[in-house]
Amino acid sequence: MILTDTHTHLYSKEFNADRTFLIEKAISTGISRFFLPNVDKNSIQDMLEVEQQFPKNCFAMMGLHPCSVNATFEEELMIVKKWLTKRKFTAIGEIGIDLYWDKTYFKQQQDAFRTQIKLALEYDLPFVIHSRNSFDEVMEILNEFKNEALKGIFHCFGGTVEQAKKVISLGNFKLGIGGVVTFKNSGIDKVVEAIDLKHLVLETDAPYLSPQPNRGKRNEPEYLLLIAKKIAEIKNISIEELAALTTQNSREVFGF
């Protein structure tokens, strides 16, 4: 069984005390592919060190998180662009728009999102979208590129069945389903129930969004099993079948 975590911040300081142990423990359970989204210039080195330690299991992305976009975002984007010329990354990410915490730099977030979509097209890479309180705003920008061969993942999808169908209509995007699917009354179970598995990938977003029964605590790599079991239960299939299908979906996005 091979399970794939398409979105995990394993380089986060929350794992400094026991990172190696947690990753090796997860690998022993079948969770053997971890995709690491970048946040900003301050996360790059730590992310690359984790990838270097586990080169067969951990795969780095490059991008600027919308919550790190501010008045000097263009300087951050220059760093992103420079890294893309240095080596191969698995995706551009995580990128997008976040209107939950602060709307001060909304225009700059839009500009950064557009720029990074163009980088994804230039380097023929998928991109991973952070969309919080901003589904319509994100879709509006994606529709500007509707004639381009866009592909990627809507990370931590938290929308409705109708919104999920809009994502699917884009053609080459998967819905990232994480710990929220285990929350009572989240509504994500209804989305999973209504949408064909070929459109879904798994993620933890560790150390954030820990699934039940660990909600509110540090999310850990091994907890992907809890997410997988919940989705397998909703779909009435075995966890082995779910692992095979969702890992294949991740291969369609990332190319391996």
pLDDT digit string, tens, across residues 184-209? 999 999 999 999 999 999 999 999 99
Give residue 81's pLDDT band: very low, low, confident or very high (50, 70, 90). Answer: very high
What would the mean pLDDT of 124-144 be, rounded to a whole number?
Answer: 98
pLDDT digit string, tens, across residues 38-66: 999 999 999 999 999 999 999 999 999 99
Residue 146 above 90 pLDDT? Answer: no
Average pLDDT on 235-246 reads 98
Structural contact between residues 167 and 154, judged by C-beta atoms closer than 8 angstroms: yes
pLDDT for position 193: 98
Confidence grade of residue 90 (pLDDT, cut at 50, 70, 90): very high
Task: Tell me what the pLDDT averaged over the chain comes to.
Answer: 97
How far, in Å, CA of 34 to CA of 164, rounded?
24
Closest CA to 228 of 215, 245, 206: 245
Distance CA 234, CA 215 (A): 20
**Per CATH, is 3-254 categorized as 3.30.9.10?**
no
- The residue among 123, 8, 127, 16 whose CA lies nearest residue 66 is 127
The dihedral sign for the CA sequence 209, 213, 214, 219: negative
Specify the pLDDT at position 188: 97
pLDDT tens-digit series, residues 99-119 = 998 999 999 999 999 999 999
**Inter-residue contact 228 to 29 (CB < 8 Å):** no
Q: Is the pLDDT of residue 165 over 90?
A: yes
Q: Per the structure block, which two tokens stand in for 131?
A: 């969309």
Query: Taking phi first (over 0 means left), then psi (-120 to 50 degrees means alpha), and beta for anything else, what does residue 104 get?
Result: alpha
Confidence of residue 147 (pLDDT cuts 50, 70, 90): confident
CA dist 161 and 159 (Å) reads 7
Distance CA 35, CA 165 (A): 25
Hey, where are the domains in the chain? 3-254
CB-CB neighbours of 67 under 10 Å = 19
220 pLDDT above the threshold of 90 = yes
Strand partners, 155: 130
Residue 214 has pLDDT above 90, yes or no: yes
Residues forming beta bridges with residue 59, ordered by sequence position: 35
Tell me the C-alpha distance between 72 and 220, whole Å: 33
